Amino acid sequence: MLHLSVTELAAELSRGAFSSVELTRACLDRIRQRNPRLNAFITVCEESALAEAAGADRARARGDTRPLLGIPLAHKDIFCTRGLPTTCGSRMLRHFLPPYDAGVVEKLREAGAVLLGKTNMDEFAMGSSNETSFFGPVCNPHDPDKVPGGSSGGSAAAVAGGLCPMATGTDTGGSIRQPASFCGITGFKPSYGRVSRWGMIAFASSLDQAGTLTRTAADAALMMQAMAGLDPRDSTSVDRPVEDYAGEAGVSLRGLRVGVPLPHFTEGLSAGVEQGVRAALGELEKAGAELIDIDLPNNYLSVPAYYVVAPAEASANLSRYDGVRYGYRCEEPKDLEDLYTRTRSEGFGEEVKRRILVGTYALSAGYYDAYYVKAQRIRRLIRRDFARAFAKVDVIAGPTSPHVAFAHGAKADPVEMYLEDIFTIAVNLAGLPAISVPAGHDRGLPFGLHIIGPDFSEARVLGVAHQFQQLTDWHLQLPRDTHLSPTSPGHPPFRTPEDTHHSRNAREGAS
């Protein structure tokens, strides 16, 4: 049952093939067995998960037919969860217990999903490999010597490794879609404003968006049906009707105009990924879609623009972590300046400090117009490029990432790491919906097909992705279990702080 999709699990629960308690216990057993190797979970809440599952079984016996009722779920540890540690993968928040649930957590709880725990992530969502977490790096279930992608790598590894059937993630510049590509699963980022950001710890407020990590596009549609909608507590939440995402899965590919972005098929794209993505596009064409070459002339500026805008917003958002109100506080500060300096120096990791410095510089007097304002102008140009393209095509499709997952420690140069999101960042700058679906393997590792739609075309993007998955079986390919022994060699050392929260019940070995 652990490798069934959410859609299949819901059908099996409805017909009584097994109970939610049995399914939840199987997931918890899998976490106990595999998480020491994958390090996908930071926190596991075994006791409350089984209680929620028992409640779901009682509700189903009373005739409750909610699609996600009794389905186990994991939340990226960036979503506030009432009374449960929310660390953001950082020493700064390792003891933080929120007094409320994030909007996304509320909605999925109302849908009847069973919370298994919180997944590992790059610190404050800053990274493309899930190596910057205070709680140690996450490993790719297809090969634990490789990274799972980031920053939602813990959620991606948990779904790909069979630890849970669905998980939430956040996407600021590709942080759902890139790990989905590396781990061979489906990762969906909706339009900016489609899903509430309330209670989601901020990195870059104009770019962050909550989304889903699942096995299939049909599963993502079920999650989106529960997650989407106006939240008056979030000033960026959009007030527009929620579409029937699952109902649009039957969209026909015949006559669909698919834009193929020429800038994404140039130097830097690995030969194996290019060949596989072109084969995937060929499947769409054989099903009746029309492939149309398009240009996105300002796409090459997306990475430099993003790495001005995002660090600038991070500098402002993370200024609240000063040792005064909540979060980490240094020992015995001499004065206020010492409190600020040592708290932030000790509480933040290297990548977070690097981006704060870049962002503070970009916002400083004398440089604001030269950097931040110019980056925002480029952002408008990128959005205009997409608008012109969507006047000619219905969706845009290309590679999610230039290559497959790389080895731990292989990207020591920060700039080289920043280029990992070169095909995904522009989508966040424009606020568009996009999905990565498994499209092939290169050297034994998965890669994804990236499908982008116009503003608030979630149903169309999910429908096209679903139809692609009816034509191919890449989303059914599972990791090789032989790689997951806790004693497998070559694993990078984990940082395991003595006071790390391993579970709500202090169960040993969850991370």
Q: What percent of the chain has pLDDT over 70?
A: 94
Domain boundaries, the chain: 6-62+69-298+379-484
- Give pLDDT, residue 490: 36
Q: pLDDT tens digit string along 218-262?
A: 999 999 999 999 999 999 999 999 999 987 777 889 999 999 999
Q: Which residues sit opposite 503 in a β-bridge? A: 44
pLDDT digits over 131-190, tens only?
A: 999 999 999 999 999 999 999 999 999 999 999 999 999 999 999 999 999 999 999 999
What pLDDT does 496 receive? 32
Determine contact, residues 216/462, Cβ cutoff 8 Å: no
Q: What is the model's pLDDT at position 494?
A: 30
Give yes or no: 488 in active site. no
Of 20, 128, 129, 151, which is the active-site residue?
Answer: 151
Window from 92-96, 205-209, 211-215, 489-493 with minimum mean pLDDT: 489-493
For residue 492, pLDDT beyond 80:
no
Strands 114-119 and 41-44, sheet pairing = antiparallel
Statement: residue 506 has pLDDT above 70 = no
Question: What average pLDDT does this structure show over 252-281?
Answer: 95
> What is the phi-psi region of residue 244: left when phi exceeds 0, alpha when psi lies from -120 to 50, beta otherwise?
beta
> Helices 20-38 and 46-61 meet at what angle, rounded to 10?
150
CATH number, domain 6-62+69-298+379-484: 3.90.1300.10
Dihedral sign from CA coordinates of 135, 141, 142, 148: negative
Q: How confident is the model at residue 105 (pLDDT cuts 50, 70, 90)?
A: very high
**pLDDT tens track for 28-79:** 999 999 999 999 999 999 999 999 999 999 999 999 999 999 999 999 999 9
Cβ-contact 53, 21 below 8 angstroms:
yes
pLDDT the model gives residue 481: 63
Question: Is the previous residue joined to 364 through a cis bond, with omega within 30 degrees of 0?
Answer: no
Share of the chain above pLDDT 90, in %: 90
- Catalytic residue, candidates 128, 175, 315, 457: 175
pLDDT at 330: 96
pLDDT at 493 exceeding the cut of 50:
no
Catalytic pick among 5, 20, 76, 90: 76
